[in-house]
Every structure is written in C-alpha cells, then in structure tokens.
Amino acid sequence: MELGGNAPFIVFEDADLKAAVEGAIASKFRNTGQTCVCANRIYVQEGVYEEFAAQLVARVEQMKIGCGLGSDAQLGPLINARALKKVEEHVSDATSKGATVLTGGRRALGVGPGAFYLPTVLGKVNASMRLMEEETFGPVAPLISFVDEDEVVTAANDTASGLAAYLYTRDSGRLWRVFEKLESGMVGANTGEISTAVAPFGGVKESGLGREGSKYGIEEYLDIRYLCLAGLEGTSAR
C-alpha cells in the first residue's frame, strides 16, 4: 500500500549543478508533477542557490506544454479542474507569504481544452507555506535555501511522509551520512529517476506499508508457514 510522498530534493554546494538541474526536471516535472515520487520541496545550499535557480529557470522555460497528441509537448494537462485549482491555491498561498514567481505561475492559455498550468519555479519559499506540507501534485518547483547539512536533514524529515528523497553531492562521506539520516524508503543520490522493477518500491512513516518490486515485493504475496515437529519414530513407507 503506497500513500504518497512530499519528497525533498537536496542540492549541496559541491554538487554538479547541471546534473542537479536535469535531475530536478526529471523528478519534478515527470507526468506534469503528478506522481508520488515527484520532488515537492527543493532545498538548495545558499552558496549555489542563485546559480541553481537561474539554471533551473532557463531549463524550465525551454519546456513545451501541450496535449501530447501529434505534438512535441513535454508537459501535458493536470488530471482535472480540481487539480488545477489546487495548484493555483498553492501558488497563491506561497506568493501571499513572500514567495516570488521566477517563471510560470499561471494557467497556460491557448493550448487547447484541458487543465493546463505553466511549469513554475518559486523562490524565497519557507516552511509556513501550504506547498511545503501538502503535495502540490502539479508542475510547481519551490526553492528553499539552507545553510548546512543538519539544517536541511531536519527540514527534509519534517513531514509525515517518507516515500522518496533525492540528494546531490560529490562528497561520498556526505552522501552516506545524509542517506542514513533521511527518513525515506527510497533515496536517489545524484539522480532524479529512481523507479525500477528490480528495486523495492515503498516508503516509511505515513507513506504506506510493504514494498513492490524485487524479491521483497514478491514476499508481499507469500505466506510464511511454520511446522513444529515432535514425536516421530522412523520414516513413513510412503
């Protein structure tokens, strides 16, 4: 049973920023942000925050939105009008509390029928905003600046969910330290794509029970049996 994510995406100062931007695109905007493992909170260390934000905005503005039928669209519509309304409410709430729209931030017009919303990047996001606690499930990438490792791990774990998490660093020691501290069933280290049939898919805390995929997923369909033997003499002729 899988129950959603609210995944953190952490970019440290020593990360390969180009790879981190591509990873954020893959994780945040896959299926127009409508998957359980989509990055929902993007934490960027203060020393590279401005550069990462600039690169991400430039990359997002290259993305094409459309219906996907006979077009070169990379982003499609949201699932329905209610989903579109939720995205609008999250962006409106964030901007009312100090967030800035770096790109997007409104419905996509002239695309055709459907619930289309422009791929959006928000800056100056803080913990008081709805999109930090609730999954947006839409094409909105909120950026949060952080100072050090302890701060970002605490912030990343400050959620009832624990399905997926992502981190970018070229320091192997930091990678293992943060991985061990993150309260998440799955972690992508220097990649934004973690789903594969050979890995155990699932989360901790309120993100569900059990796993699918790999040998651990097979075990969910099996029953363990116990036989206690006593009082036998010899072997049966049969």
> Does the active-site annotation cover 51?
no
Catalytic residue among 13, 22, 36, 151: 36
Strands (E) in 114-199, as ranges, are 120-123, 140-146, 164-168, 186-189
* SS3 (DSSP) at 173: helix
SS3 205: helix
Cross-strand bridge partners of residue 43: 10, 144
H or E segment to which residue 54 belongs = helix 49-60
Q: Which of the 8 DSSP states describes residue 35?
A: S
Is 67 catalytic? The answer is no
154 phi, psi to nearest 5 deg: -60, -45
Catalytic residue among 2, 13, 88, 133: 2
Helix (H, G, I), strand (E, B) or coil at 168: strand
Q: What is the C-alpha separation between 92 and 138, in angstroms, rounded? A: 14
Work out the angle between the directed axes of helices 172-181 and 149-156 (0-180°, nearest 10): 30
Largest CA distance in the chain: 84
Q: Which residues are catalytic?
A: 2, 36
